[in-house]
Homo-oligomer: A and B are copies of this chain.
Amino acid sequence: MTRLRVHNFAMSLDGFAAGPDQSTEAPLGIGGERLHDWIFETRTGREMIGENGGENGVDDDFVAAGFEGLGAWIMGRNMFGPIRDEWGDEDWRGWWGDEPPYHTDVFVLTHHARAPVEMEGGTTFVFVTDGIETALAQATAAAAGADIRLGGGTETVQQYLRAGLVDELHVPVVPVLLGAGERLFDDVHLLDAFTDVEVVGSGRVSHMRFTR
């Protein structure tokens, strides 16, 4: 059974998954990068940015688990790039260079049609214009029995949570306050749908993992 999984979707102690005033320079909003500092202390996090070192342990286990058993990704357009409205000259091919770290089909939710973009290393960006359920159906077909990881941004995760389509939700709660930004759980009242909750503190962050 293919499962739809959210991993390492970090939230500040005051509930924000991104800071205010997102921009090309601050894709996670002002202060939002503090939500991810802990990731780059882990071995897997360092590997993601082409560096050695980093720690093993609880945090690394959670970061690494987010990449296991995946056959497809789904993400919102704002995670794919900063362009709004029409695609324009279609030069934008994501934040991640020629070889993005996905190595699967990546279904990008957008209101604006665009031909698929094939990248190096097995990643193909496929643009889906008719909603989250279509994206999930296409991703499920592409995953061929493996799981689907749901990336950001906040609004995309909220849409799938509200529709009751998320099978696993891992939220690391980071002990910082952002004061403003995008609240992960605004108008999301479905957490009771998850039957299991795991709570593990690492010293740096608190991992909350909901499954059903």
Interface residues of A (CB under 8 A from B): 13-15, 171, 173, 175-177, 179, 183-185, 188-189, 191-192, 197-208, 210
- Contact between A189 and B179 (Cβ–Cβ < 8 Å)? yes
A185: nearest residue on chain B (CB-CB)? B14
Identify the closest chain B residue to A200 (Cβ): B201
A202 and chain B: residue at smallest CB distance: B199
Min CB–CB distance A155 → chain B (angstroms): 16
Contacts of A184 in B (CB 8 A): 14
**Given A177-B185, A177-B192, A198-B203, 4 other A-B contacts at CB below 8 A?**
A14-B184, A15-B15, A175-B197, A199-B205
Interchain CB contact (< 8 A) of A177 among B177, B189, B201: B189
Shortest beta-carbon distance from A4 to chain B in Å: 19
Q: Is the CB of B208 within 8 A of A13?
A: yes
> Cβ of B208 and Cβ of A203 under 8 Å apart?
no
Please give the distance in Å from A125's CB to the nearest CB on chain B.
32
| B-chain residues with CB within 8 Å of residue A200 when the two chains form the complex | 201, 203
The closest CB in chain B to the CB of A209 belongs to B175
Residue of B nearest to A58 (CB): B201
A43 to B200, CA, bound (A): 21
| Complex Cα gap A205–B179 (Å) | 23
Bound-state CA distance A176–B210 (Å) is 11
> How far is it, in angstroms, between the C-alpha of A15 and the C-alpha of B183 when the chains are bound?
10
B-chain residues with CB within 8 Å of residue A198 when the two chains form the complex: 203
A185 to B: closest C-beta gap in Å: 4
Among residues of B, the one whose C-beta sits closest to the C-beta of A174 is B199
| A203 partner residues in chain B, CB cutoff 8 A | 198-200
Q: Are A14 and B15 in contact (CB under 8 A)?
A: yes
